[in-house]
Amino acid sequence: VTRNVPDPIADKNTRTEDVTPTATTCKATTRPPTIRSPSPVRPNRSAAVTAGEGEEGPEGEGPPVDEMKEVVLHVYDVTNSDSEKTNNTILQINRIFKDRIGLGGIFHSAVQVYGEEEWSFGFCENGSGVFSCPVSKNPMYTYRERIVLGETECTIATVNRILRELSRDWPGHSYDLLSRNCNHFCDVLCDRLGVPKLPGWVNRFANAGDTAVVVAENTAVKVCI
């Protein structure tokens, strides 16, 4: 699968800056992760990434920028197989092992900060694997839930710089289902933003390896039967 990777969040004052060799990190004010119902998606607002911190965007463009520091994790069920049977099996795995047991499942994740785009990582043969799409609207997967991880103290310019650095460090060809997937990327991005990493259940099956996935799949098939 090959995708056109959009530029990271654009800031008119930082778009042409060189990426500094020193990794950018920030501290944050955080609170325990809480699950909320998915909110309606509003139009993408370029003003959110060009207005000064704490300033209002143009009339009708939404809240001040400092109200958009909230870092939100968006979680999807992985239902991108051409086989309906496989997709249904994955949904069943997630219902059993996440919803009933709380152990984990097979999930895609993306991080939202400053605006109405979510950022994630996936395979492509050439270029960066880092990409964005409208919040909760990734067409490859089935949207599940949103989890508020905290509030970043990073400015928009710093977030831009972090995304540029990660876009360079995470080429699409380096994707690996078990050791370097979208959830690993989101962990790194959250760490750089200074908020808690993903809840353990999001990537637990990948961390456990192939055996866990096989066992889960066999269990789900038996339950379905």
State the Cα–Cα distance between residues 119 and 159, nearest whole angstrom. 11
Q: Which of 108, 184, 186, 190 is catalytic?
A: 108
Residue of 65, 63, 87 lying closest to 77 (CA atoms): 87
Check if 108 is active-site: yes
Cα 81 to Cα 75, 190, 218, distances in angstroms: 17, 28, 18
Asked if 88 contacts 153 with a C-beta cutoff of 8 angstroms, the reply is no
Cβ–Cβ < 8 Å for 59, 190: no
Q: Are 111 and 118 contacting, i.e. CB atoms less than 8 angstroms apart? A: yes
Q: Of the residues 124, 154, 182, 190, which is catalytic?
A: 182
Give Cβ neighbours of residue 199 (< 8 Å, ≥ 6 apart).
33, 147
List the structure tokens of 163.
């995304």
The question of whether 182 is a catalytic residue gets the answer yes
- Other CB atoms within a 10 A radius of the CB of residue 113 amount to 25
Per the DSSP assignment, residues forming a β-bridge with 28 are 152
Percent helix / strand / coil, the chain, rounded to 5: 35, 20, 45
Which residues are marked as active site? Answer: 108, 182
